[in-house]
């Protein structure tokens, strides 16, 4: 089968690496891809926003499966256009991608399907939000409704901060994403990411991970897209995972089908493990980045088979994908300045990883300049390793990272710290 993968980050490099390993993959194309993806796929220069160009390309290469990596083209309806043109697509319709595209949409669905989530109010004006504020106590969580590249959430510790965040969002600080705002009760607990594959009717769990969203060690500083992750996340015990499937994921899939907008693709649930059980913080309509990288390191099944079963509505009766019991851990190397403004162009020299079992350096924001590898984004590399324990995976990943020559970059040195402290309090 010929496959087209859309996207250009570390998530897509991990997907390309795994898709290319399948004996069922004849030709793999990636648009636009990156220099790491180029080792597994033919790069094509098509903009995912140009739907006609994507469809034309799929026709010209007899593409049997399109895999859409990032959320923006999904929320924008690319999967709908491709399906109308007769192509099998891994990724939800625009209507179903509202689970990520609108926080208020998801909150209403939680009420309708009795899904545990923080108490909330959808607000369409600053005056409404400001007058409701006292009812939420402190801290209070204030969210721009739409897509804001992970930056549209403020946890306000004081009334003044809360008011400023509300004024900022309605004042256009987050563009169109802030035209509506959701106020939420603050939940306490540990966070875990949980993944499920669904074709709209059947659902299978697809593992857990824990991300590190803050830029600084000890989980301090501004939020980022994610500075490192590991999988599995043992805090999500098999019992809690079953509870999340029964009380959150399956009711969501059923409610989406009942609304006439079945959700097909990977459903990424951001969970808060509270004293009262798992609660839904948010949904994403795609794999996490960098969570995907650690899931792909552990996946033992054929990714083409899996994604095709999801895309063609043939998940019924399949056993859940097999994930190796090892822990995989990835450390993000970012360009200095991230998550603020970064200068592209810093040179990178990578160590040889071909002969290192269980180790991969995924490219997230790299480019070739005059044949030499340089940084081209905020998050640049995902240095990834597996091990029998999280401590072993961490040691391998940092040993590999220390062989990367990237003076323009930085990383957190404490990825996995919570779990490592639990697993081995001596280290
Ligand atoms: P989101 O973009 O919805 O994942 O929110 C970003 C981060 O804000 C989450 O990963 C949580 O750490 C935090 N967060 C969001 N909602 C809540 C909540 N209701 N209570 C506590 N923390 C939250
Ligand atoms: N790593 C967080 C995300 O992909 O949304």
Which atom of ligand 1 is least distant from the CA of 184? 19
Which atom of ligand 2 is least distant from the CA of 292? 4
The bound ligand whose nearest atom lies closest to the alpha carbon of 223 is 1
Residue 61 has pLDDT above 60, yes or no: yes
Q: What is the pLDDT of residue 172?
A: 82
Between the CA of 165 and the centroid of ligand 2 the distance, in Å, is 22
CA-nearest residue for atom 4, ligand 2, is: 288
Between the CA of 290 and the centroid of ligand 2 the distance, in Å, is 7
| Substitution candidate for ligand 1 out of 148, 226, 282 with most atoms within 8 A of CB | 282
pLDDT digits (tens, 9 = 90+) for 89-113: 999 999 999 999 999 999 999 999 9
Q: How far is CA 297 from CA 11, 12, 212, 232, in A?
A: 12, 13, 18, 11
pLDDT digits (tens, 9 = 90+) for 353-394: 776 789 999 999 999 999 999 999 999 999 999 999 999 999
Pairwise pLDDT comparison (233 vs 223), residue with the higher score: 233
pLDDT digits (tens, 9 = 90+) for 338-361: 999 999 999 999 998 776 789 999
Distance CA 419, CA 230 (A): 9
Query: What residue has token string 């697509």?
Result: 89
Residue 252 has pLDDT above 90, yes or no: yes
Q: Is the shortest distance between the CB of 414 and ligand 2 below 6 Å?
A: no
pLDDT digits (tens, 9 = 90+) for 31-57: 999 999 999 999 999 999 999 999 999
Q: What is the pLDDT of residue 352?
A: 86
Q: What is the pLDDT of residue 152?
A: 84
Residue 272 has pLDDT above 90, yes or no: yes
Tell me the average pLDDT of the chain: 95
Q: Is the shortest distance between the CB of 71 and ligand 2 below 6 Å?
A: no
Q: What is the mean pLDDT of residues 259-277?
A: 97
Q: What is the pLDDT of residue 425?
A: 63
Q: What is the pLDDT of residue 423?
A: 82
Phi/psi of residue 132, nearest 5 degrees: -85, -15
Q: What is the pLDDT of residue 356?
A: 78
Cβ(304)–Cβ(1) below 8 Å: yes
By percentage, how much of the chain surpasses pLDDT 70?
A: 98
Q: What is the pLDDT of residue 150?
A: 67
Q: Is the shortest distance between the CB of 129 and ligand 1 below 6 Å?
A: no
Q: Is the shortest distance between the CB of 301 and ligand 1 below 6 Å?
A: no
Q: How far is CA 99 from CA 67, 152, 232, in A?
A: 19, 15, 24
Between the CA of 227 and the centroid of ligand 2 the distance, in Å, is 10
Q: Is the shortest distance between the CB of 270 and ligand 1 below 6 Å?
A: yes
Residue 317 CB coordination number (10 Å): 7
Q: Is the shortest distance between the CB of 212 and ligand 1 below 6 Å?
A: no
Residue 174 has pLDDT above 90, yes or no: no
Cβ(138)–Cβ(131) below 8 Å: no
Q: What is the pLDDT of residue 17?
A: 97
Q: Is the shortest distance between the CB of 100 and ligand 2 below 6 Å?
A: no
Q: What is the pLDDT of residue 222?
A: 86
Measured at the CA of 383, the angle between CA 67 and CA 15, to 5 degrees, comes to 10
Residue 426 has pLDDT above 70, yes or no: no
- pLDDT-derived band at 427 (thresholds 50, 70, 90) equals low
Q: Is the shortest distance between the CB of 9 and ligand 2 below 6 Å?
A: no
| Substitution candidate for ligand 1 out of 117, 120, 155 with most atoms within 8 A of CB | 155
CA dihedral 357, 66, 366, 267 (to 10 degrees): -70
Q: Is the shortest distance between the CB of 278 and ligand 2 below 6 Å?
A: no
Between the CA of 109 and the centroid of ligand 2 the distance, in Å, is 21
Q: What is the pLDDT of residue 151?
A: 73
Distance CA 41, CA 35 (A): 10
Between the CA of 56 and the centroid of ligand 2 the distance, in Å, is 31
What pTM, to 2 d.p., does this model score? Answer: 0.96
Which atom of ligand 2 is least distant from the CA of 289? 4
Residue 337 has pLDDT above 60, yes or no: yes
């Amino acid at each position: 089968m010929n496959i087209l993968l859309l996207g250009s980050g570390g998530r897509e490099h991990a997907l390309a690496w795994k898709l290319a390993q399948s004996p069922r993959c004849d030709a793999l194309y990636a648009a636009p891809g990156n220099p790491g993806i180029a080792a597994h796929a033919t790069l094509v220069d098509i903009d995912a926003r140009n739907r006609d160009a994507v469809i034309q390309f799929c026709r010209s290469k007899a593409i049997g499966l399109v895999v859409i990596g990032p959320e923006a083209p999904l929320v924008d309806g690319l999967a709908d256009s491709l399906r109308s043109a007769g192509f099998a697509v891994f990724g939800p319709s625009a209507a179903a991608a509202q689970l990520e595209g609108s926080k208020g949409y998801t909150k209403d669905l939680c009420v309708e399907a009795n899904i545990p989530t923080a108490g909330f109010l959808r607000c369409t004006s600053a005056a409404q939000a400001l007058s409701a504020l006292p009812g939420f106590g402190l801290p209070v969580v204030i969210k721009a409704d739409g897509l804001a590249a992970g930056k549209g959430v403020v946890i306000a510790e004081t009334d003044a901060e809360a008011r400023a965040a509300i004024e900022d969002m309605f004042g256009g600080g987050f563009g169109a994403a802030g035209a509506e705002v959701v106020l939420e009760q603050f939940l306490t607990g540990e966070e875990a990411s949980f993944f499920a594959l669904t074709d709209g009717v059947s659902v299978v769990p697809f593992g857990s991970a824990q991300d590190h969203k803050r830029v600084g060690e000890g989980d301090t500083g501004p939020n980022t897209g994610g500075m490192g992750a590991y999988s599995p996340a043992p805090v999500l015990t098999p019992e809690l995972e079953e509870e999340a499937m029964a009380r959150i994921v399956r009711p969501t899939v059923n409610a989406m089908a009942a609304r006439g907008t079945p959700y097909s693709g990977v459903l990424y649930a951001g969970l808060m493990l509270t004293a009262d059980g798992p609660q839904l913080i948010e949904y994403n309509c795609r794999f996490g980045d960098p969570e995907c990288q650690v899931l792909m390191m552990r996946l033992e099944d054929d990714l083409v088979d899996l994604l095709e079963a999801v895309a063609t509505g043939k998940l019924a009766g399949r056993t859940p994908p097999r994930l190796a019991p090892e822990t995989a851990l990835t450390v993000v190397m970012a360009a200095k300045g991230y998550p603020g403004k970064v200068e592209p162009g810093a040179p990178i020299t990578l160590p040889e990883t071909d002969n290192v079992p269980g180790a991969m350096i995924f490219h997230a924001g790299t480019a070739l300049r005059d044949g030499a590898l340089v940084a081209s984004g905020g998050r640049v590399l995902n240095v990834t390793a597996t091990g029998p324990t999280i401590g072993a995976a961490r040691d391998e990943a940092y040993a590999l990272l220390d062989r990367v020559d990237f003076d323009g970059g930085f990383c957190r040195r404490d990825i996995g710290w919570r779990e490592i402290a639990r697993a081995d309090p001596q280290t």
